[in-house]
Amino acid sequence: MVRSLFWFFVGFVFVSFVSSLWLLLSSVLTVMPIPLPYWLLYTPGNMVRAGVVVAVLMLVLYTYLGVSLVLSKMNRGFVPITMVFAFVIGMALLLVRQAIPALIMIIITYVMLIGTYIVIISIATSRASKALWETAAMVLALIPPMLMIGGLIVIDYVRYMAITEQATTIIASAIEAWKLGVGQ
Amino acid sequence: MLSVSRTSLAVVVLALAVASIVVLALVPSPVTPKPFMTLHGLGYEVDYYSVSAFNYPVIVFRGFMNSMPVPFTVSLFAIAPNHIYTVGYYSGYGSVVVNLTGSLVRYIASRWVSEFNGALNPSLIAFITYGEGNKTWTVIAAIPYKPSWVVSQEPIEITVNANFTAVKPVIVMPVTKPTGTTQSKPTNGPGSDPFGYTYVGSCIGNPNVTYPPPPQQPPTCARYGFQCYYWALQQCSLFKGPIPLLFVGWSKNAIQNGVSSIFIDYMGGGTAQSGSGLFGTLNRSGNLILVGPTITFSQSYTIETSTATSQVCIVYGPSLTFTGGSCPANNIPSPIYYVPSSGFFYIGLPGRVAYVAFQEYVNNYGYSTPLNVWANGTEPLSLSPKDFAGNYLLVYPYIDVGNGSITGMFAEVLHAYEMRRQLVVSLDDGYNSVANVSACPSPLYGYQELTGNLAFVEYTLGNAITAYSPRPVNIAPLLESLLPGVYVGEVPTIVGHLITGAGTVSTIAGAFIDTNHLLIGANVYVNFNPSSSSSFYITLIGSPQATNPGGSSSIYPMGMIINASNYYLGLRECER
């Protein structure tokens, strides 16, 4: 058991909560006739900006996870670190308009994300959170084949699946934070 | 201690997790508003929601400076099939709600539905303005809407987010430098201030400012009466810069591959007769009014060039360079502009142009109340002393590669064309190098093939354009085109022609010139290689005719555009 992972799970829940709250609040407030700072508006530009912020925070969290594991002599910590690297390289390639290599890096990132979930499953301290992370990993693995077969027609289902996946990981993280924080 | 704080943190995390699940469950539900359409323009974004805080159609305007809400005003206009109406003027802090429930808006919407059966989506035009000190920022937003939303009062919410940070201030601090910027110099070559105009100061109280004709409603204020209407000058901002007269424009492909060089001899030899002059243009509730002449020539002048040479040669080059030498293709010694992209060469009169805004007032027994009726526009107020030399009126050459007043004029012309499918300039198809003919029967031109694979098409600009008579204006040419300093910036690329990516444009000087009494000539030679040049098309451009108080026809900047792919705007017109 790696005690320092407590902070990873706490961070995971915090970031997820703040981003989903922003999503809800901004969309409701936007149609209200009240003065608002620009960052609270539900506009495509702000969505992209919020997405970037969330992605950066998540990358920091996954890096923390990987480094903590490696420091505890668990080599599987290299999986999340690889994912972060693949993502950063993929984005850099996208910025220099190298679409195909970028796509390859993004696919690696995605596979490594599932791998990261498996790593988390392997170190999870409770059965409940193990089961929830397993569900999330399965949903994550199912999304690409569904999109490939169904195309844009299934986009709504994919959206629901993504939300389910997010919800399971949040609950799983909360359970794990509870276990690591309150005691065994 | 650590374990206590960890325990409490774990409790918080559990609570947050539960809250996140609730929020996540709400996000995809229809309770959460999401825009079903989003549009962008310079400095603004329009989002359309079908979930609304109201049960009727509304527009919620939001104004931001550096992302924070600020106080602002909205001047809202609605375009009817052939009129522009003022919907109203609104102000608020951070947000302004305009209900689309009024009888005027509903009437306009019903006109669109009845005339076009809902096939067209008209726009509302909003001037959203924020002021601080003596600077104002204006975002001009076009807000397309379905007339049926207004007619059947559907609960559609349109939000318009105006970002004032993205636009340039209309009125800037007076220039403190004692020496003016280079636009008033004879040739604004490379390295000069790219902006067409410099703010000089307020011109309230300037005796040359001409008021529009008295408001229509009788009685006027001629006698001491119980009720009368009059105009009050609310804003007068003076700008220094050229008043353009003739221009030659080119697209990047045309200058790079189509033609070898454009050789312009603007010797002119025209005259400005005694008593003729320049007019101001005002837009009063959608109607164009000419005022003036605000500048009248007290004697007859022969129009002459200011510089030693009256010729200029435009050639494609990797960067904007101004040099002397021999014009490629015809080997005539002349100043040469190497231009890397699309642009305009124009000749104009350095002078001072005012942006004026008049507001109508009603006076009841000595109490004056302002009305929501405005007349805005531009008036040339004075010419620079350097325009005169004895009996000569001197014209000056200018180059505009996407940041000067002619670009500004076209930006606004194209903006209006995109908004309303109405051209405020008249086009006449000129020469077409593919068929080696003119598409229209008689724009006057000369074609000559010389030895050494050199050919040229020649136009005498003033004559070619006055040979056809541009159609009269009976509705507003545009609100936008008459507002100097208004920053349109984003130039719509309608058929992929002339101006693309003009980052900064300023404005037009709405100087109408009485063509019956003032004529300038310029011979334009478009040199090309008949065997190797790729295609090009010449379009002649004049502005619509307008009637001035003296009754004669008038015209303002006229010129031609050389385009590579098709006639400018791809419209085939033969105005006569």
Cβ distance of B53 and A17 shorter than 8 Å: no
Three-class DSSP category at B388:
strand
Residues of B with Cβ-Cβ distance to A181 under 8 angstroms: 6-7, 9-10, 13
CB pairs under 8 A between A and B: 132
pLDDT of residue A87: 93
Residues of A with Cβ-Cβ distance to B9 under 8 angstroms: 10, 177, 181
Helices (DSSP H) in B134-240: which residue ranges? 147-151
Higher per-residue pLDDT: B318 or B504: B318
Pick from A26, A28, A31, A160 the residue to mutate for testing the B interface (most B CBs within 10 Å): A31
| Percent of all residues in chain A with a pLDDT value above 90, rounded to a whole number | 49
The answer to whether A126 faces chain B, any CB pair under 8 Å, is: no
Q: What's this model's pTM, rounded to 2 decimal places?
A: 0.46
pLDDT of residue B192: 34
B564 φ/ψ sector (left φ>0, alpha ψ -120 to 50, else beta): alpha
Q: What is the CA radius of gyration of chain A?
A: 18
Residues of B with Cβ-Cβ distance to A34 under 8 angstroms: 94-95
C-alpha distances in Å from residue B289, one per residue of B213, B284, B476, B482: 9, 7, 9, 11
Domain ranges of chain B: 35-166, 182-570
B→A contacts (Cβ < 8 Å), by residue, are: 3, 6-7, 9-10, 13-14, 16-21, 23-28, 32-35, 38, 45, 47, 49, 51-53, 58, 60, 62, 64, 67-69, 93-95, 97, 157, 159, 161, 163
**CB neighbourhood size of B125 (10 A):** 22
Identity of the residue numbered A172: A
The answer to whether A24 faces chain B, any CB pair under 8 Å, is: yes
The answer to whether A34 faces chain B, any CB pair under 8 Å, is: yes
- Residues B204-225: what's their mean pLDDT? 65
The answer to whether A184 faces chain B, any CB pair under 8 Å, is: no
Q: What is the CATH number of domain B35-166?
A: 2.60.130
pLDDT of residue B130: 79
Cβ distance of B13 and A163 shorter than 8 Å: no
How close B64 comes to chain A (CA, Å)? 7
Give the model confidence (pLDDT) of B480-526 as tens digits. 333 322 222 222 222 222 222 222 222 333 444 554 445 566 788 88
Helix (H) or strand (E) holding A152: none
Give the model confidence (pLDDT) of B33-87 as tens digits. 778 888 887 788 898 988 777 889 999 999 999 888 888 878 777 777 665 566 7
Residues of A with Cβ-Cβ distance to B47 under 8 angstroms: 30, 42-43
Please state which of the ranges A128-137, B325-334, B548-557 shows the lowest mean pLDDT: B548-557
Would you place residue B191 in the very low, low, confident or very high pLDDT band (cuts 50, 70, 90)?
very low
Give the model confidence (pLDDT) of A134-150 as tens digits. 999 999 999 988 888 88
- Distance, in Å, from the CA atom of B261 to the CA atom of B452, rounded to the nearest integer, reads 15
How close A104 comes to chain B (CA, Å)? 30
Cβ distance of A17 and B6 shorter than 8 Å: no
What does pLDDT average to over chain B?
70
pLDDT of residue A14: 92
Task: Report the candidate in B165, B125, B163, B164 with the shortest Cα–Cα distance to residue B145.
Answer: B125
